[in-house]
Amino acid sequence: MKRELAILILLLLALLASGCVSGMQGSPYANATPGKKLYDLGNASQWAYAVNMSANETSSEWNMTVHNYAGSPRHMVIHTSGNGMDIIYDVWWNQTTYRVERMHANGSIGDYYQDHDVSPLQIQTLPDTGLNYYFVPFQPIRTVTARGPDGSMANLTVYAATDNQGFTVAYWIHPAVPVPAKILMSTRDFNITMMLTDYKQGPPLPPI
């Protein structure tokens, strides 16, 4: 069963990358906010999400941890684990253009093992890392109140953008947190929800 779910994940995320990312449309309104304003990648050294995907009455869960390194080009180490996956991706990206220049994958999904460079476009098959939608304009749509781990209440602004194929990306943002508290990617056929479980604020880690 894990192998079948892993294959489903790959197929759906590949569909997401090929059919939706390139067609993303931003809001024409003056108060639209570019995606680069919703992440503060210069002020986060590490963060982690619990990821849930549901499609066709099937659901799967896994974890994604990102280590953010300084250097030129910048370097992310992204570990996806759970539900038959255990892969570490090294991602080198241009700090000015946010273009992924190189990717390397090491690990397994189901029965498939890889340890080699992969296409930089494969970044679009991962849950959001802060690079995929960096230049997309997002529209603030509402404010929600959430309770933090210490019991205090905080207001978060929800930003969203929808492409011409009905694919929507939404972010829950708190100004004191350098990465989104929640991310939702959805179409009529499937949903991917990412909940922030941990982060370390501060400058990127020393280059490796």
Going by pLDDT thresholds of 50, 70 and 90, the confidence category of residue 2 is very low
What residue spans of the chain are helical by DSSP H?
Answer: 2-19
Q: Phi/psi of residue 135, each to 5°?
A: -105, 5
Going by pLDDT thresholds of 50, 70 and 90, the confidence category of residue 30 is low
Query: Is the CB of residue 175 less than 8 Å from the CB of residue 37?
Result: no
Structure confidence at residue 3 (pLDDT): 42
pTM of the predicted protein model: 0.84
Summarize pLDDT for 71-117 with one digit per residue, the tens. 999 999 999 999 889 999 999 999 888 899 999 999 998 888 999 99
E-assigned strand segments in 71-152: 74-82, 85-93, 100-109, 112-118, 137-147
Mean pLDDT score across all residues of the chain:
85
Structure confidence at residue 91 (pLDDT): 98
pLDDT of 207 above 80: yes
Structure confidence at residue 19 (pLDDT): 38
Query: Is the CB of residue 197 less than 8 Å from the CB of residue 50?
Result: yes
